Amino acid sequence: MAQVEIRQVSKIFEGHTAVSEVSLTVHDGEFLVLLGPSGCGKSTLLRMLAGLELPTYGDIVIGGKVATRLKPKDRNVAMVFQNYALYPHLTIYENIAFPLRVNRFEKAKIDEKVRWAADLVGIEALLQRKPRQTSGGERQRTALARSLVRDPQLFLLDEPLSNLDAKLRHSSREELRRFQDRVGVTSIYVTHDQVEAMGLGDRIVVMRAGKIRQVGTPEQIYSHPADTFVATFIGSPPMNLVETGAVTVGFRPEIFLPSNSFAGDTSNATEFLSAPFAIRRVEYLGGDKLIYGSVSGDLPQTEVIARIPSNVPFTANEGETVPFAVPQTEVRCFDTASGLAIEDTRVGVRRSLNG
C-alpha cells in the first residue's frame, strides 16, 4: 500500500490542455474515484500515474518516491483496463500467472500466488477455462487477480465495469468494493458513471475540462456541491437550479415536496420556500414518481423536477397547480456569475428572496 501525491500536474497535447495543474493526495489504503464527463482528463491523469504518459509539468509521488519519470515496470502499479486485456489462448490460470512467469518466479511460488488470488476474487473453480468460456464479470475478476499477484502498492482501474450489462454491473460493483475492503490496496478508479462513483468511492474527485471541481465523500459531493456543475452532474434527476438574480437557488428533487408533507406551517418564509408547482407531466418509475413542471411564488418561474416515492399518496393530475415547498435548511445557494457555492445558505436565501 502507498500514499499517492499528485503535485501541480499538467498534460498538454499539441496545444490542448488535457489536465491542468491538478494537485491531489490519495491516502494509504483509500479507494478514490475520478468522476467526470468524457474528455475531462480523468483517464489521462490515470495514465500518467501508470507511467503510460509523462506529465508536461508537475510531479507524481508514489509511496514517498518521486515516480514522475519512472517506467511503468518500475512503479509497482497494477492497472485494470476497460477491456481486461486477457490472452484468449491462455487459461485463466495462465493469464493470472503471466506476470509472475515474466519475472521468473519459481513454479511452486507461482502456483501458490495464483491460487491465493483466484480464491480471493472467487474464481478458483475457473482456472482451467479459457477467457471465452467465462462471463464478463468472471473476466473482470481474472484481470483483478492477475494484477493482485504482483503485490502492487497501487491499483489503477479505468472503467472496468463499462462493458457489463446493468444487472452485472451492480453485482460486480459490490464484489469490487468487497475486494477492496479485503486487500486494502490504495486504489484509484476512473468512471463517468455517478452511481459507480457514489457506491464505490471513499472519496470522489469531480473533474471537468482538465481541472478538479470538488473533492469529498459521496455525501459531501451530493449534499454540498461546490458549484453548479457538480450540482447538476451528480444526482439523477440532477439538482434543480433556479436563478433569482445574483443568487441561484438549488434544491434536490427528493426534498421538493407537496406542502402538506411537512409538519408545521409551511407559509413561514424563514423556514420554507413556498412554490406553487404547475404540473406538466408525471412519470412513474416503480419506486418513484418523477413530476415535471414549473414553479412560481417565492421563486421565479422555472422548469423543475420533483421526485416522490410511489407509496406516498399524491393524486394531483397533469395540468394542475399544487402548493409545494422546500425546507430552507435543504436549499443550496450559488453565485450566479461564478457558479460557486455560497457558504452561508441563510444569507443566500435572503439575497434570493430580496432579489
Q: Is the pLDDT of residue 174 over 70?
A: yes
Q: Is the pLDDT of residue 270 over 70?
A: no
The crossing angle, in degrees rounded to 10, of helices 107-121 and 136-148 is 130
Distance CA 81, CA 72 (A): 15
- The string of pLDDT tens digits covering residues 130-140 is 999 998 778 87
How much is the pLDDT for 180?
76
Distance of CA 158 to CAs 38, 54, 101, 170, 296, Å? 13, 18, 25, 17, 44
CATH placement of domain 228-353: 2.40.50.140
pTM, to two decimals = 0.85
Confidence band, pLDDT 50/70/90 cuts, at residue 2: confident
Q: Is the pLDDT of residue 266 over 70?
A: no
Interval 299-312 mean pLDDT: 90
Residue that has been written with the C-alpha cell 450489462 in this structure? 165
- Per-domain boundaries in the chain: 4-223, 228-353
- The string of pLDDT tens digits covering residues 62-80 is 999 999 999 988 888 888 8
Of 100-109, 220-229, 277-286, 346-355, give the range with the top mean pLDDT: 220-229
- The string of pLDDT tens digits covering residues 3-55 is 999 999 999 998 899 999 999 999 999 999 999 999 999 999 999 999 999 99
Distance CA 327, CA 74 (A): 54
Q: Is the pLDDT of residue 119 over 90?
A: no
Of 166-170, 179-183, 222-226, give the range with the top mean pLDDT: 222-226
Confidence band, pLDDT 50/70/90 cuts, at residue 269: very low
- The string of pLDDT tens digits covering residues 29-38 is 999 999 999 9
Mean per-residue pLDDT over the chain, rounded: 87
Cis peptide before 237 (omega within 30 of 0): yes
Contacts of 30 (CB under 8 A, 6+ apart): 186, 187, 202, 203
Domain range 4-223, its CATH number among 3.40.190.10, 3.40.47.10, 3.90.1150.10, 3.40.50.300: 3.40.50.300
Between 51 and 299, the higher pLDDT residue:
51
Helix (H) or strand (E) holding 179: helix 166-183
Lowest mean pLDDT among 118-127, 279-288, 292-301, 339-348: 339-348
